[in-house]
Structure formats: C-alpha cells, structure tokens
Amino acid sequence: MKDGKIIIFDTTLRDGEQSPGASLNITEKLEIARQLAVLGVDVIEAGFPISSPGDFEAVKTVAKSIRGPVICGLARAIEKDIDAAYNAVKFSARPRIHVFLATSKIHMKYKLKKAEDEILRLAVASVKYAKSKCQDVEFSPEDASRTESAFLHKVVESVIDAGATTVNIPDTVGYSTPFEFAAIIKGLKENVPNIDKCVISVHCHNDLGLSVSNSLAAVINGARQVECTMNGLGERAGNASLEEIVMAIKTRPDIFSGANTSINTKELYKTSRLVSKLTGMMVQPNKAIIGSNAFAHESGIHQDGVLKERITYEIMKPEDVGFESTNLVLGKHSGRHAFTERLKKLGFELTREQTEKAFDRFKVLADKKKEIFDEDLETIVEEEISKIPEKFHLVHFHISSGDQVKPTATIELKFKNKALKAVSTGDGPVDACYKAIDKITGAKGKLMDYQIRSVTSGKDALGEVSVKIESKGRVVSGRGASTDIIEASIKAYINAANKLVYEK
Ligand code: KIV
Ligand code: ZN
C-alpha cells in the first residue's frame, strides 16, 4: 500500500462472537457495529450468515444500517454459503464475501478428507462463484501457518487469478511464532508472481499468546490488512487484540516504518466497555491498553517518576485511548446541569427521558455514596440506555441469610404492569433470589457464569455483577450494578431474563 495504511478488519462480531458464551443478538450486534464505525475500522466482519437464521439477519441488518466500513460475511467454499453471505451483505454500499477453505495436510486429511488437487479446484471455483456476485472477495486458506509452503503459494496464486482481492493468512490454531510467521509472508511476496494484485491480510489466534506479535511481524514484512477483535475476543484463547495492534503501530512508527491506521484511538476504551458489557466477557485489569490497571502506577518510584515527568514510565497517554483521568466529578448536591454536562464530556448522547431516568438513579446513588466518579456515571448510564426492553422490572426484594439460617429471598417484579411475587430458599442469598426470579419468569435458566467486580475503590463502591444464563441451548449475558451486591446480582439476572424474553 502506497501510503503505509494498515487496513483494520474487525472480526469481533464473527470470530469474537465464537468465544464460548459470548453470543450476541441482532440488536447487540448492531450496537457494536455502530461503535466500530465510530472507532474507524475499515472492515466489519459481521457474521457467518449460513450458520443460523439469526446470524443471517444480523449481518443483513448491519449491512443495511452501517455506512462507512466494508461489511463482510463469512462463507465456506460452498455455493449455498456464498449465496447466504452475499444475500446478507449485498445491502451494504461496500459488501465483501470472505471464503475460507483449509489447506494444511492435517485439515485436508482428517477434516475435509480431500486431496490437494480437489482443494485447489474448490478454492478457485468458490472464489470465481463469489466474484460473480461481488467485486470484493477475500480468500482464507484456513490453517495456512501449518500448510506446506509450495501448496500455499500455489493456492494463493490461483485464487488471485480467480479474482480474490484480499488473501488472508490465518494462524488458525495459534501455532506460529513471529519469525516463522514473518517468513510465511515474505515467502508469499517472493514466490507468488501475482501477489501484488491483492492485499495480504493476516488473522492470528492467541493460543500461545503470540497473536499480536505474529500479526505485527507480518506487517513489517508486507501484510496490509490485520484481522483482529476488540478485547482480543475469539475462539479459544482469542484473536489478536485490535487495541494492541493499533496502539503498537501508533506508538512505534520507527519500527513500523510510518505505517498508520484510521482508528480514532480515543474511542478504544468506550468500544472495549461496550463489547465487554454486551458479550458479558469482563476485561482483566492488567489487559494491555484498555485494562483498568493499564495506566495505574502502584510503586512509589514509578509514581514519583510520573509526577516529575510522565514519559519516565508512560509510553502512551491514557487520554489517547479514551481514558479520562479518574475525577471526583459529582456529589449529592450536584444539579441536573452539572450532571448532563459531565455525561456529554464522557461521550453519552441521551434522550430527555433517558437523562431524567439516569439523573434519578444518580441522585439515589449519591445518597448512598459520597463520591461519584466517572466510572460510576458510566455504569448507571449504560444500564439506562440498554436497548433491551425491560419486560421484567425489579420492584422490591428482601433476603434473610446467615450461617445459622436457611437463606430465603422474597422477590417482587413488575411484568406488564402487574406485580408478581415469589419466595424461595437457596444455598446462599443469590441462589435464593435467582430461584425466586425463576418462579416468576418461568424460565429455567442454568447459571453458567457469575462475576462480580467493584467499579471504583472504597467500601461504598458500586458493585457490578455479570452473569451468563443458558436456556434451551441459548446463552445470554446480563449485567447489573448497585452499591448492594445482592441487588446488583438480582438486576444482572433480570437483565439476562429480559434478553431471553426479547430474543424469543
Ligand atoms: O481462524 C481462522 O482460520 C478463521 C478463518 C475463517 C479465517 O477464522
Ligand atoms: Zn479465526
């Protein structure tokens, strides 16, 4: 690429969604896609349309609604997959079909049970078929990093001749290492005569923790598109993390020969929070770039150094990735004006009704908690602007618990303007509450995951609970926040129950 631009291909909605338990409904996919467009990604892989009617609809909705990025749909090298991918992405102003077919000996022998000749024929035929529908066609030789180089070169040369405009080299099982992966890219440039007619892309998984290093080694050696996900979500150990790739390129132009991306890095933190909230996958505190400790200096020597001169211990500015410094912003006496101004500064655009509701919650919180920080505001506002209709709404709860008594919960929910009440015992107070809620909603949800974290520090901090529930083969996540962790747990469970009702 002439100007050193690296194309950021985001696959959070496809490979990221393949993370165990991270499934997203159409509304959630659309919300993330909107934010990815604001973030400035070049390509959004919105899903795998043939995989389910829901995914087909999600890709179609994203293609219809999002303008700016290319919208891509994944397909196996099969005509019905390619048809589904095209029928979903064709509504985009910039549609792309992404066809994949495994080329490694292991996959050809055990998974596909096909010989090299047949694979080559299928790869070419599928790219030609996709090209007959869409100008922008990407081909991935799956498990490329374990494919014999001569065969990989032959496949790549043939699919480019067949019309592929991007050739993506996946390290499907996260097996490669930076020098080896760099050599694969170099090998393509040296041995595939028509390689300049396509964009070389890379797609690395993180099984050995090397996905970002492998992707960056490829960039140094000529890859011009990187496939990645927000927060590094993805199959098994995940994909290369978008925020790490982008900030490495931005922070080290000396190493990446002036390469650049069109990502608005100030949107990284917000995007990360949204993805974490909607997938129910919390971000570890020490996660590079967007983890809550990423810019926290604990040791006295470091703090002293940063106070004297920031660059002693900080290689990036927290503001550059969208972290506002943690401010004590508001308290009990703050008015509506200060509240709305602060929300605007945090990047929230709320309707009048949402602002009123969020302000009421802020007042309740301010009564319980002396100091309100930006993180507290973000948490309550994000709950208020949730796109999932609140069919079940918590009216009241009461628990009795202790080491000498059987934990018992009474829960009252509102559903279609009717108050519904149930009582249940359980192994603990949260279990009792969840059983009482199940009695009301009638959902026999299995709790797959329960996580709790404090939003800020201090004994009066907001607790944020994240749950995953499985019901009839569908996994949904839910979140809730309160200064009372039982209330936060109840809200998270009700949030998940509302998603189940919504999706039904
Ligand atoms: O990891 C992989 O090989 C993939 C392909 C579909 C590109 O996700
Ligand atoms: Zn993958």
Nearest ligand to the C-alpha atom of residue 145: 1
Closest alpha carbon to 223 in 264, 178, 175, 162: 178
CB 335, CB 362: distance < 8 Å: no
Say which CATH topology domain 4-279 has.
TIM Barrel (3.20.20)
DSSP state of 145: G
Spacing, Cα 324 to ligand 2 middle (Å): 33
Nearest ligand to the C-alpha atom of residue 73: 1
CATH superfamily of 392-503: Alpha-isopropylmalate synthase LeuA, regulatory domain (3.30.160.270)
Q: Which residues contact 383 (CB under 8 A, 6 or more apart)?
A: 361, 479, 480, 481, 491
pLDDT at 250: 97
Q: For the residues 500-504, what does the mean pLDDT come to?
A: 78
Spacing, Cα 25 to ligand 2 middle (Å): 20
Neighbours of ion ligand 2 (CB under 5 A): 15
Atom of ligand 1 nearest to the CA of 173: 1
Q: How confident is the model at residue 124 (pLDDT cuts 50, 70, 90)?
A: very high
Q: What is the pTM of this model?
A: 0.87
Query: Does position 253 have pLDDT exceeding 80, yes or no?
Result: yes
Q: Would the CB of 203 count as within 6 Å of ligand 1?
A: yes
Spacing, Cα 204 to ligand 2 middle (Å): 7
Q: In whole numbers, what is the pLDDT of the chain averaged over residues? A: 92
Q: How many beta carbons lie within 10 A of that of residue 149, not counting itself?
A: 13
* 288-318 pLDDT per residue, tens: 999 988 887 767 777 778 788 888 888 999 9
* 176-221 pLDDT per residue, tens: 999 999 999 999 999 999 999 999 999 999 999 999 999 999 999 9
Q: Whose CA is nearest to atom 5 of ligand 1?
A: 142
- Of 203, 215, 227, 228, the residue with max ligand 1 atoms within 8 A of its CB, to mutate for a pocket test, comes to 203
Q: Whose CA is nearest to atom 2 of ligand 1?
A: 172
Query: 253: phi > 0 → left, psi -120 to 50 → alpha, else beta; which?
Result: alpha
Atom of ligand 1 nearest to the CA of 227: 7
Q: Would the CB of 25 count as within 6 Å of ligand 1?
A: no
Angle in degrees, 0-180, between the axes of helices 178-191 and 211-220, rounded to the nearest 10: 30
Q: How confident is the model at residue 2 (pLDDT cuts 50, 70, 90)?
A: very low
Q: Which residue has the higher pLDDT, 25 or 97?
A: 97
Domain-by-domain residue ranges, the chain? 4-279, 297-368, 392-503
Note whether 4-279 and 392-503 share their fold: no
Q: Whose CA is nearest to atom 6 of ligand 1?
A: 100
* Cα gap 75→374, rounded to integer Å: 42
